[in-house]
Amino acid sequence: MKDDSNRRPSLGGRLAALAFLLTLALASTAQTSLLGGDSKPSISATETVATPAPVFIAPETPAAIPALPAKPAGPPLPNAFDVSIFEAMAQQIVADQRVPGLAMAIVHNGKVLSARGYGITDVSDAEPVDAHTVFRLASLSKGFAGTMAGLLVNNGTLRWDSRLIDYVPNFELSQPGAAQQITVADILSHRVGLSENAYDRDLERYVPYRALSQKLASAPMKCAPGTCYAYQNVAFSLIGDIVFAATGDFYSQEVQSRLLKPLGMNDASLGLEGIESSARWAKPHVRGKRGWVSVMPKSTYYEVAPAAGVNASASDMAQWLIAHTGHRPDVLPAPLLATLHEPLVDTPYQARSSAWRRARLDGAGYALGWRVYDYSGHRLVYHAGAVQGYRGMIAMLPDSDLGIVVLWNGESSLPSGLLPTMIDRALGIPSELTAWIDLKIDPPTMVADRQQQENAPGSTATKASAAPQ
């Protein structure tokens, strides 16, 4: 079947999105319009484009932050959503050596139901994975990039329709006038107009990001900026150049100071040096002739920090979920979250890319660093990530006020079945518990085993899963 993910959104869809964003603008003067491709003036090859100097604005430090109203609690989860069962499934995955190590976080109504580690960090030097063991997030990092840009929009440093060329004046594309049309929103929603994954192969050959961003000037164009979707890593990371030009500070430092520190993500970091300096971190693993083999993490995709540069633990990701489900308005206000999670372009091929997607998804789109799915009639905010030896998935069900993260350190797709299994149970969708994952477990036995582990000396198991804390 022909992939029609590149089609331009319908007029009705664009008008609906524009109406939604105008409503947000009334709610928060810091939220600026996300204009689609048809709203942009065309720029000819001979037209002179003014290039105003970027405004450097230091982050404000108010003497006191006024108290914000708490988000109302969402509906209770069905009885079938049994966290102890999901923890038992995670434990079974590592016990069967399907992957060496795994970390999982589940939050509901702003409370942590579970944030635990399972298995080991390294088959060559085994240490248990716990809630503070750091994993590489790969493309889950894109949600951080969108959120980082959103904070700068909130304080007036940027606009969603700010032009890339105003901050990176030497940037060029092969189509005359195209570079002048790219906006912040285009970059974060993969609508820069290039073919899919432009220069990712060169990135994997250790070509530096700076050289690759310059090579984009000769990359084939798929469409005019803002008019079609094509997933990027190199081009997506141009948002880091914008952040640097707009703030005068490096992207990684801005993420640390504006996101990781305020949210209490104390294990999190950016870059290869960041993960290797962690107190405990999970080594990446690949398949060898005799089983899992640990390898050193590659520096390649750390070159594109906005696209794939963040490292974090289950404990960190629980806080990230709490913030993105609306329970940290002091850092991420509700109008900003609504903007970040609003799809801007259709990605229908995503609804066909795996068994659970084919069975459950009725629509798919991309927002600002986040995928957004229609999961059996419910909105699902989602992203996945993969680099050598690491995999991860994050998902949020706004209707249920539920957030889930699963991270693992082996090149296996099996743990990905945990996510739709939990989502089905949260939505009360009738199905066998192991419909999306090949596991044979005896829940009462596994829970008893876990209770014994909790009572064992030095155990890293938590007792937070039975009830919110």
CATH number at residue 408: 3.40.710.10
Same domain membership, residue 172 and residue 135:
no
Amino acid at 414: L
What three-state secondary structure class fits 102?
A: strand
Q: Which of 226, 251, 276 is the last residue of a domain?
A: 251
Q: Distance of CA 66 to CAs 152, 329, 330, 337, 403, Å?
A: 20, 11, 9, 19, 27
pLDDT of residue 437: 87
d(CA 155, CA 339): 15
Same domain membership, residue 278 and residue 129:
yes
Domain annotation covers residue 367: yes
Residues in the chain: 469
Domain annotation covers residue 9: no
pLDDT of residue 17: 45
Domain annotation covers residue 1: no
Domain annotation covers residue 468: no
d(CA 37, CA 228): 8
Domain annotation covers residue 219: yes
Same domain membership, residue 297 and residue 401:
yes
List the beta strands (DSSP E) in 20-179: 101-108, 111-119, 135-136
Q: Which of 221, 251, 281 is the last residue of a domain?
A: 251
d(CA 466, CA 469): 9
d(CA 111, CA 270): 26
Same domain membership, residue 319 and residue 199:
no
Residue ranges making up the domain that contains 297? 83-141+266-455
pLDDT of residue 165: 98
Same domain membership, residue 87 and residue 54:
no
Q: Report which DSSP code applies to 140.
A: G
Domain annotation covers residue 6: no
d(CA 162, CA 247): 14
Q: How far is CA 337 from the centre of its chain?
A: 13
Same domain membership, residue 234 and residue 273:
no
Please give the tally of structural domains in the chain: 2
Same domain membership, residue 237 and residue 121:
no
- Give just the sign of the alpha carbon dihedral 40, 45, 50, 55: positive
| Tens-digit pLDDT profile for residues 376-392 | 999 999 999 999 999 99
- Residues in the chain predicted with pLDDT less than 70, given as ranges, are 1-68, 431-434, 440-469
Same domain membership, residue 165 and residue 42:
yes
pLDDT of residue 59: 37
Domain annotation covers residue 205: yes
CA nearest to 299, candidates 312, 286, 311, 313 = 311
Same domain membership, residue 233 and residue 315:
no
Q: pTM for the whole thing? A: 0.82
Same domain membership, residue 151 and residue 137:
no
pLDDT of residue 86: 96
Same domain membership, residue 350 and residue 323:
yes
Same domain membership, residue 451 and residue 345:
yes
Q: Which of 251, 282, 312 is the last residue of a domain?
A: 251
